[in-house]
Amino acid sequence: MVDVIVLIKQMPDLEQVKIDSNTREPMIKNVPKTVEILSEHAVEEAVRLKEKYKGKVTAILLGNEQSSAIMKKAFAIGADEGIIIDGYEENNPANTARVLATKIKEIKHDLVILGNQSADSITGLIPGMLSALLNEPLLGNAGKIEVTGTTVKVTRILEEDNIEIESPMPSIVSISQEINEPRLPPVMQIMAAGRKPIKTEKIAPVISKAVTLVSNRAPRSERKKLVFEDMDKGIPEVVKVLKEGMK
């Protein structure tokens, strides 16, 4: 038996974020939220572990009422319970980790599974922070997870090598995208997921002034932008630059 908590992150659909040409600031207000891609892999992995070793999968998502579609997707893949923590909208890793850790402590678990970093802010800090806050070992960037008794074994994917590591449970496992290919749930399961109740828990807003935002703007390109459509002109120019660079 392996009881798994899986953490789901929602983020703005980056494809739909446009830049205001005057202020160069992102226009993010009405951009719909989508599930962070690694979270889908995390849910898939949690469900695969349940299918292999039995146990329960509890999904936790920081969001609001509009997040139920994302939770239903997790249900359709096979999550048993879903908790939406409503009221935390900040984007500060230290606070995110604290809010998550508080909830995780209330739930019996063998493993906490989450993505190793997210596609919007790419901080990759949450796994380490949770490990320290929960005092559970971190097995990071897993490409494979196996459980034997009360021990978890993970293939950790590093930049230059892969290492096989293990620790006793409970522990935190962050996953890499290549761990699995999330399934496309059958229609019956999607429909059943729609009827499943979601627990929503309101929390008081967390306010932090640790980091002050000065600006959030699209970077300006300072390139020359000499674009040639006439190759008789363009190619000699490029060849000149390449020859200069080879010196």
Partner 1 sequence: MKFLVFSENLGSLSQMITYLREKGEVIGVGIEKSSSEAANFGASRMYSIKGDILSDSAAKLLEELFKKEGADSIFLSSSILGREAAGILSVSLGVGIVPEINEISFDGSKAKTKRFYLGGKTVLEEESEAKIFTVSPGISDAIKSDKTSEVVSIDAPQSKIKILSRQSKKAEGSNIEDAKIIVCIGRGLGKKEGIESVKPLVEAVHGEIAGSRPVCLDYQWLGEDRQIGLSGKKVRPAIYVGVGVSGQIQHIAGMRGSKTVIAINKDKTAPIFEEADYGLVGDLYQIIPKIVEKLS
Q: What does the alpha-carbon distance between residue 14 and residue 59 come to, in Å, rounded to a whole number?
A: 23
Beta strand pairing status for 151-157 and 138-148?
antiparallel
Distance CA(202)–CA(211), nearest Å, equals: 25
Q: How far is the CB of 191 from partner 1 (least distance, A)?
A: 31
Work out whether 14 is an interface residue with partner 1 (CB under 8 A).
yes
Residue 187 near residue 194, CB atoms below 8 Å = no
* C-alpha span between 63 and 241 (Å, rounded): 51
Tokens 């599930």, residue located = 35
65 or 230: CB nearest partner 1: 230
Task: Name which of 65 and 244 has its Cβ closer to partner 1.
Answer: 244
Q: Is 231 in the site for partner 1 (CB under 8 A)?
A: yes
Using the rule CB under 8 A, which residue among 69, 184, 191, 235 binds partner 1?
Answer: 235
CB of 189 to partner 1, least distance (A): 27
The correct pick among 80, 86, 120, 146 for binding partner 1 (CB under 8 A) is: 120
* Nearest distance from C-beta of residue 25 to partner 1, angstroms: 7
* Closest distance of CB 100 from partner 1, Å: 12
Site for partner 1 in 122-181 (CB under 8 A): 122-133, 137-141, 153, 156-167, 174
CB atoms within 10 A of CB 207: 8
Binding mask 77-106 for partner 1 (x = CB under 8 A): ----------------xx--x---------
CB of 129 vs partner 1, minimal distance in Å: 4
- For 119-138, b/e burial (b = at least 16 CB within 10 A) is eeeeeeebbebbbebbebbb
In total, the chain counts a number of residues equal to 247
What span, in angstroms and rounded, lies between the C-alpha atoms of 147 and 127? 19
Binding window for partner 1 (CB under 8 A); candidates: 49-57, 59-67, 188-196, 233-241: 233-241
Q: If binding is defined by CB under 8 A, does position 227 make contact with partner 1? A: yes
